[in-house]
Amino acid sequence: MPEPETPRRRTRLGRLLRGRLNGVLRWLLPRLVQLFSYVVFRTCRIVFVDREYEDRFVTRGQHIIFAGLHEGMMMLPYHFRDRTGGVVMVSRSRDGDLIADTVERFGMRAVRGSSGRGGRDALDEMIDALRRGGVSAGVIVDGPRGPALEAKSGALVLARATGLPIVPGTWWARPLVRVGSWDRTIVPRPFSRIAFAFAEPLFVPPDADADALEAARVELTRRLAVARANAQAALA
């Protein structure tokens, strides 16, 4: 018997997207986010920390499962803007509609689902896309409801099924603004300094059982915390 879904508390944006301006906002906001990303991030000075953890695969034309944090999702479409065709899991929510439209403007494909709604179908779709080859995947591992900074198991299930490495990464900026949402999304100010840090890739064997997946989940959370701390330290 399926577990009941956790009651969903709508954000202010979600309430707006359910209102009369739904169609206008669905068209306008992804374009504004894309414009904002190109304008603001190009004014920033971006440094990378431990980028070799990603480059060891990407420079050889190999594919990865990128694992990021919800607070840092603002920069991720911009970072992956030249890697068209990648698949990204986005929740089935009103906010998720906006995120899906936005990532697709950067050339990626949104697969809709989360731990609460449609997650199994979304994982199956992403596994099929990755097994066919030619694409990488991106997963915000602590979404869509948190707890913030704590990985869930979706990326690990993908890695077990496909054999692809999970590359953890996140970023920080000085100065920045934090949005008043549950994840306190970070947004850089124009001309900020940004550090994008990666952590050591994580492989999940194809025969990993539930205990092994849980251990890998804890380790992924730890590695993301290391990347986050390293990004902050690079700007100290």
Which residues touch 62 (CB under 8 Å, ≥6 apart)?
A: none
Rg (CA), the chain: 17
- Give the architecture (CATH level 2) of 13-234: 3-Layer(aba) Sandwich (3.40)
Spans of all domains in the chain: 13-234
Tens of pLDDT, residue by residue over 136-172, are 999 999 977 789 999 999 999 999 999 999 999 999 9
pLDDT at residue 99 is higher than 80: yes
- 44 vs 31, 64, 94, CA distance in Å? 20, 26, 30
What's the pTM?
Answer: 0.85
Residues 157 and 217: their CA atoms lie apart, in Å, by 10
pLDDT in tens, 173-186: 999 999 988 899 99
pLDDT band at 16; cut points 50, 70, 90: low
pLDDT at 7 over 80: no
